[in-house]
Structure 1
Amino acid sequence: MHLLVALDDSEPGWAALEFACTEHADDDITVIHAVDPTSSGYGEIAHVGPSDLLERQREDAKELLAEAKDRAAERGCSIETDVTVGQPADTIVDYAADKELDLIVVGSHGRSGFSRVLLGSVAERVARQAPVPVTIVR
């Protein structure tokens, strides 16, 4: 089995990685971080420009994935990593389909009600759109 872990720098994201390493240690695991070029701090794009901002986001993603490799190794788990660019839910679903992966593992913040409507839920969108089973970890 080959599974995909979608990682952001959040407790649920790290919980998803831990789940994958605990429950699927003998399987192939690819961990990705989706860089969303449309999400930036207030005015950040005006100060550094779009290409510099994207490059900074990619560098941050590489550091995050290096930490993921370290955390996985501490659990005796070997992972592959990749940085993708695009809206996270769409990118995760497309990546899983393109690579013909068997399972997606994603963390969820567990928002409900108005905050979920306002902020959206990457995990929920992935679960609805994915061509493979999705495990949502909190």
Structure 2
Amino acid sequence: MYDRILVPTDGSPEVEDALEYAFELAQTHDATLRTLYVVNAAGYSGLPMETALEGITDALHGKGRSAVDRVEELAPDDVAVEREIREGSPSHVIVDEADPDECDLVVMGTHGRGGINRLLLGSVTERVIRRASVPVLTVQVDPEGADDRSGEPRLAAE
């Protein structure tokens, strides 16, 4: 059913909850897992010095390398991992990568914010769900890596 599963990462420990689901699906379907880190340097473009922007971009690319390295490190031996670091708006890049010719499923973590928090903060996951042309599986995560006393992440109903 799935040949290529896209898992965007921001390098946070919370993403590891979503990775567990992606790893299990990849193993079950003998699928390749594609991990993606998006460098979003747009917020720094107004800095007065070009060299400062280059330094920030280099640092963000370094964080991206660390994030995709972590996915490879956590992946079971029988799961093939492809890695990519791209620049741009996270939701736009993820949707571009979620092309049906490139992947069959996107697995993303979500904090499950609602109400005013979602309005104020926005949600990359929500924008991907609305725009992606392939199914998006969301895994609700929190800073502790679990959302209840069992210590197990749960699938979000988005």
- Are the aligned partners of 1:7 and 1:16 in contact in 2 as well (CA < 8 Å)? no
What is the TM-score normalised by the length of structure 2?
0.76
CA change 1:52–1:133 in 2 (3 A) is same
Give the structure-1-normalised TM-score: 0.86
Q: Please tell me whether the aligned partners of residues 31 and 80 of structure 2 are also in contact (alpha carbons under 8 angstroms).
A: no
CA deviation after TM superposition for structure 1 residue 99, in Å: 5.2
1:68 matched residue in structure 2: 71
Q: Which amino acid aligns with 2:52?
A: G
Residues 19 and 39 (structure 1), Cα distance of their counterparts in 2 relative to 1, 3 Å cut: farther
Q: Deviations over 1:36-93 (max 9, x none)?
A: 11346xxxx56861122111100111011111100113x6433111111111111100
Matches within 5 A, 1:54-93: 54-73=57-76, 76-93=78-95
SS where residue 34 of structure 1 aligns?
strand
SS in 2 for 1:135: strand
* Contact 1:12 1:137 survives alignment (8 Å): no
**Structure 2 Cα separation of the partners of residues 99 and 39 of structure 1:** 31
Partner of 2:103: 101
Instruction: Give the counterpart of 1:38 among 31, 35, 42.
Output: 42
- Rg comparison, structure with higher value: 2
Gaps of 5+ in 2: 141-158
- Residue 23 of structure 1: how far off its partner (Å): 2.1
CA RMSD of aligned residues (A): 2.1
Q: Give yes or no for contact 2:100–2:134 (8 Å, CA) kept in 1.
A: no
**Greater relative contact order structure (CA < 8 Å, 6+ sep):** 1
Q: Which amino acid aligns with 1:31?
A: T
Q: Please tell me whether residue 13 in structure 1 is matched to residue 23 in structure 2.
A: no
Count of aligned residue pairs for this structure pair: 134
